[in-house]
Amino acid sequence: MNSNTNLHPNVKTLLFSENEIKERVQQIGREITKDYQGSKELVLIGILKGSFMFMSDLVRAIDLPDTLVTLDFMSISSYGASTTSSGVVKINMDLKEAIEGKDVIVVEDIVDSGLTLKHLLELLQSRKPKSLATSVLLRKKEGLKVEVPVKYIGFDIPMVFIIGYGLDFAERYRELPYLGELKEECYKH
């Protein structure tokens, strides 16, 4: 989509079109392909639900035929139906496999304060992976409250509430193929 014509009525502005996202994700896939040459085992950990679309496109952009590439998923929650971070992270579903001795990339949709990802990285580090890196689609730079390492970043964005391409507000809008700013009247009452 290259214009605003077919945007969902609750989207204020288009941030990144389907094509822009696709191009960026392909670039990240190429970087990962280059950086993990020689890796024996690479696990991509998708953080549900927000990263499902990013994860799906990213894994198809990675080309490592000599590496055992596997996927695993974790479900954590921090926000509920609100739009500000509570700083409390709850693990709703843990990984299915151990990550000890493996190269790990955490695939996350968005970093705001950084609290969620920081907490998650501490937890995963304690399981002794060979390496631990992060690939984050969106980062709200002005929102950062803690330092958190992001190796692969999709886009830096302003402090607005984003929906689409897997990201939700109260479980809605995940299906939109683009990233857009949610109209304020949809979440401020």
Name the β-bridge partners of 157. Answer: 140
Non-local CB neighbours of 47 within 8 Å, separated by 6+ positions: 73, 74, 75, 76, 106, 107, 108, 109, 120
Give the SS3 label for residue 26.
Answer: helix
The nearer residue to Mg ion, 52 or 155, going by C-beta atoms, is 52
Q: What is the smallest separation between the CB atom of 92 and Mg ion, expressed in angstroms?
A: 12
Diameter of the chain by CA atoms? 53
The nearer residue to Mg ion, 16 or 161, going by C-beta atoms, is 161
Q: What is the smallest separation between the CB atom of 144 and Mg ion, expressed in angstroms?
A: 18
Tell me how far apart the alpha carbons of residues 29 and 14 are, in angstroms, rounded to a whole number.
24
Residue 112 touches which of ligand XMP, Mg ion, none (CB < 5 to 8 A by kind)? ligand XMP
Query: Which candidate, 154, 175, 155, 153, places its Cα nearest to that of 163?
Result: 175
Q: What is the smallest separation between the CB atom of 78 and ligand XMP, expressed in angstroms?
A: 5
Query: Which candidate, 159, 110, 118, 114, places its Cα nearest to that of 138?
Result: 110
Residues that bind Mg ion (CB under 5 A): 168
Residues that bind ligand XMP (CB under 6 A): 50, 78-79, 85, 109-117, 161-163, 167-168
The nearer residue to ligand XMP, 69 or 148, going by C-beta atoms, is 148
Residue 28 touches which of Mg ion, ligand XMP, none (CB < 5 to 8 A by kind)? none
Catalytic-role residue among 63, 112, 156, 168: 112
The nearer residue to ligand XMP, 60 or 145, going by C-beta atoms, is 145
Query: Which candidate, 3, 30, 44, 8, places its Cα nearest to that of 165?
Result: 8
Determine whether 168 is an active site residue: no
Task: Give the residue numbers marked as catalytic.
Answer: 112
